[in-house]
Homo-oligomer: A and B are copies of this chain.
Amino acid sequence: MEFKSLTPYGEAIRMASGLRINVRESYVSVAESVGRYCSRDVVSPVDFPEADRSAVDGIALRYEDSLSASRSNPIQLSLVGEVRIGDSPAFRINRGECAIVYTGSPIPEGANAVLMKEDASIGKSMVSVYRQMKKFQNISRAGEDLKRGDTIIKRGSRIMPWHLPAFIESGIDKVPVMDAEIGIVSTGTEIVRGLVKNSSAPMLEAMISRMGLKSAFYGNVEDDESRIRSVIEGMKSDIIIVTGGSGPSSQDLVHDIIASNGQLIFHGVRMKPGRTTGLGMMDGKPVFMISGLPVAALIAFENIIDPAIRSWFGMKSLERRTRRGYLTRSIFNNENMRMFVRVRMFEEDGKTMVEPMRTTGSGVINSVISADGYLVIEENSEGYPEGAEVDVLEIGDGL
């Protein structure tokens, strides 16, 4: 039995995005937050620096006192104290006075510039100032780096290592992140019997972790409608992926389970590989159906599951770069499908060449591990002739 009709790719994405699925929010430690997506805008609760601080080791003074200073005509100031990092100076700097400070020391009241120690000669009670200063010179002003209320990171953005200093310096020790468990169950008697290996589920778990979400594998289940249904019903996950049994035939059980116990949103997509991809709702949870074959599962994950989840949760997409090149041979789309053609890229005579790889077989692992990118051919395109200039979506090495 074949699909009665296939849903165009764009329409499948629109139908998926139209669902309202809520994300959970968790607070995690700063160190654990890297790679996760912020569930709300994080703003600085404080000014940083929280007070004016010296940016150098030197002499805090009133800049007005230095106006005529030069190396040949130094000015003398009385040394009234020293301020170490973390001190709260009890004295103030009046006209004609100064104090020793260090990088990071708070600026004593009254002072409004810091002379670098190289530009001074420091005695026991007097300092010679060799240089004219400007107001606030060598002072990091309170809030100059982050003001209270400044956004550190926006909702839906991915937390990167360089966000950590801003969290830590502004006193944030728990970060609000999007949280969801994506549960995977693999169907197939041949997998349960050990005749075929389940190589898709571990790959899908790694892809989920790359989205900053949690994965859970609920095991391999034989092709038995009531067993599959009871595993799905027992899953604690927020979102479910069922691999295998995603075809349209009567031996493919998953579409019936979803249709009888919930609602099919779409099943069968005008894409290749990934044609048997489907989405339904059961018990208020989205249930994706995808092929158990690794390449079809990967393409379905990247192009249906990932964008659907990101649209539900408001997560930014991972940036993917494209690279232009020239086709080494023609490639046809005679099936009115959105095709994801794995390609190799290489340089020849100063031109970037794009070589389509064999596209038969959605289990063809080799085409994925040795591809440099994907050429996406739209449903309504007939393909490209040899020599055509095309944009390739690079595969990349970022997790």
Binding site for B on A (CB under 8 A): 30-31, 34-35, 48, 55, 85-86, 104, 140, 145-146, 150, 152-153, 158, 160-169, 190, 193-200, 202-207, 209-210, 294-295, 298, 316, 318-319, 321, 360-361, 363-366, 368-369, 395-399
Contacts and interface: CB of A to CB of B under 8 A. Distances in A.
A190 B85 contact: yes
A204 B204 CA distance: 28
Contact of A206 (B86, B161, B194, B209): B161
A153 B365 CA distance: 12
Given A85-B195, A140-B361, A145-B363, A166 B398 contact: no
A161 B210 contact: yes
A161 B207 contact: yes
A347 to B, nearest CB: 16
A86 B366 contact: no
Contact of A369 (B31, B152, B158, B360): B152
- Most chain B CB within a 10 A radius of its CB, from A164, A210, A318, A395: A164
Given A31-B205, A369-B152, A364 B145 contact: yes
Given A145-B365, A365-B145, A164 B203 contact: yes
A225 to B, nearest CB: 19
Given A31-B202, A398-B399, 11 more contacts: A34-B399, A35-B399, A55-B360, A86-B195, A152-B369, A160-B206, A160-B399, A162-B395, A169-B197, A169-B294, A397-B398
Contact of A196 (B85, B152, B193, B365): B85
A319 to B, nearest CB: 6
B369 A166 contact: yes
A66 B165 CA distance: 71
Contacts of A193: 86
A384 B200 CA distance: 51
A150 B366 contact: yes
Given A168-B202, A203-B165, A145 B86 contact: no
8 contacts: A34-B206, A86-B193, A152-B369, A160-B399, A161-B203, A165-B365, A166-B365, A396-B398
A150 B168 CA distance: 48
Nearest to A204: B161
A209 to B, nearest CB: 8
Contact of A366 (B35, B166, B395): B166
Contacts of A167: 199
Nearest to A206: B161
Contacts of A207: 161
B363 A199 contact: no
Closest 3 CB pairs of A and B: A398-B398, A86-B195, A161-B206
Contacts of A163: 369
B366 A165 contact: no
